[in-house]
Amino acid sequence: MAPPLLSLQDIDLSFGGAPLLEGAELIVARYDRIALVGRNGSGKSTLLKIAAGSIAHDGGVRFV
Ligand SMILES: Nc1ncnc2c1ncn2[C@@H]1O[C@H](COP(=O)(O)OP(=O)(O)OP(=O)(O)O)[C@@H](O)[C@H]1O
Ligand SMILES: [Mg+2]
């Protein structure tokens, strides 16, 4: 089985206050189609920025 294109494991992030992401997980494989659903301000864009590598996370592993 081919490895995933992207893997986020046990990702933590806070912007100084309460944690925004705690133990977040995301695996993206070739041909996947993904919907990311959450309340306003819950961290969707931030998670995608971490996935893209455009911002750093506090803990966990990002593999591309
Ligand atoms: N660079 C930053 N510095 C400090 N706080 C931030 C930063 N970026 C985002 N935040 C805060 O983190 C939280 C999550 O923001 P984010 O934009 O990831 O949410 P979202 O789920 O994409 O929201 P929306 O549904 O409005 O698009 C919000 O409270 C936001 O104000
Ligand atoms: Mg957003």
Report the residue among 39, 46, 47 best suited for mutation to probe ligand 1: largest number of ligand atoms under 8 A from its CB: 46
| pLDDT tier for residue 62 given thresholds of 50, 70 and 90 | very high
For residues 51 and 8, is the Cβ–Cβ distance under 8 A? yes
Report CA(63)–ligand 2 centroid distance (Å).
Answer: 22
With 80 as the cut, is the pLDDT of residue 1 above it?
Answer: no
| Sheet with 59-63, side-by-side order of all strands | 21-28, 6-13, 59-63
User: Which pTM was predicted?
Assistant: 0.95
Listed residue (11, 44, 35, 6) closest to 25, CA to CA: 11
Hey, which of 20, 47, 50 would you mutate to test ligand 1's pocket, going by the most ligand atoms within 8 Å of its Cβ? 20
| Average pLDDT of the chain, as a whole number | 96
